[in-house]
Chains A and B, each alone.
Chain A
Amino acid sequence: QSVLAQPPSASGTPGQRVTISCSGSSSNIAINIVNWYQQFPGMAPKLLIYYNNQRPSGVPDRFSGSKSGTSASLAISGLQSEDEADYYCAAWDDSLDGWVFGGGTKLTVL
């Protein structure tokens, strides 16, 4: 049972816009930054979004993050086949005094 709740799966067709949600609480997302990670099978995760909505250099601007209250979202516009991967949200939790992750969302490009 993950502290941050994500849908287990999401899908879209090429060119479409897809959003992945991440639901938390008053001790994590509401008061701390949210990061997003992308993971391909057999590979280490990669930082996709940090500080709620910032992209590290090299990450396409098709990827965007947002946060409102106790929830955060990752949006992918102009969906491409190479976006098919697992996506995880993460945030610091003041009650647990540590980082917590969502359970991950498997994105399928149809």
Chain B
Amino acid sequence: VQLMQSGAEVKKPGASVKVSCKASGDTFTHQYIHWVRQAPGQGLDWVGMIKPSVGKKKYAQKFQGRVTLTSDTSTSTGYMELTSLTSEDTAVYYCIRDYDNKGPGYWGQGTLVTVSS
């Protein structure tokens, strides 16, 4: 299982960012894809998850209204869009595929999003 994420982004406060995550083979559609972020020197923070085959989504309460998870099954790619960015959104964002429907398992390499004026 391989997950390849898009490259680093630098955004200004108030802007939006969209991070992509391309999965290998047929490992994409039928299991959840999670998004987790890690601020510099901090722990892991679950953002949300999406099941591409049915479009079912769940978001962490703290990101509700600011984050949108989408997927394109034709290209096995998942997307995370985060709006109204502040400096506190500066973090590495990871996409992760479920491990046999038992939670986050296979991690992408991470995408650094820097929010700075």
Contact = CB atoms under 8 A, between A and B. Distances in A.
Contacts, number: 64
A59 to B, nearest CB: 12
Interface stretch (B6-14, B20-28, B80-88, B98-106): B98-106
B44 A50 contact: no
Interface in B88-111: 94, 99-100, 102-110
Interface in B23-59: 34, 36, 43-46, 48-49, 58-59
Contacts of B15: none
Instruction: Tell me the interface secondary structure of chain B in the complex.
Output: strand
A90 B43 contact: no
Given A44-B94, A96-B60, A99-B34, A35 B102 contact: yes
A70 B67 CA distance: 31
A45 B44 contact: yes
Interface residues of B, number: 24
Contacts of A37: 44, 104
A3 B79 CA distance: 26
Contacts of B74: none
Interface size band for A: 20 to 34
B43 A101 contact: yes
B102 A51 contact: yes
Given A45-B44, A99-B46, A104-B44, A33 B61 contact: no
A102 B104 CA distance: 14
A63 interface: no
A35 B94 CA distance: 17
Given A33-B102, A96-B60, A88 B107 contact: no
Interface of A: 2, 33, 35, 37, 44-47, 50-51, 56, 88, 90, 92, 96-104
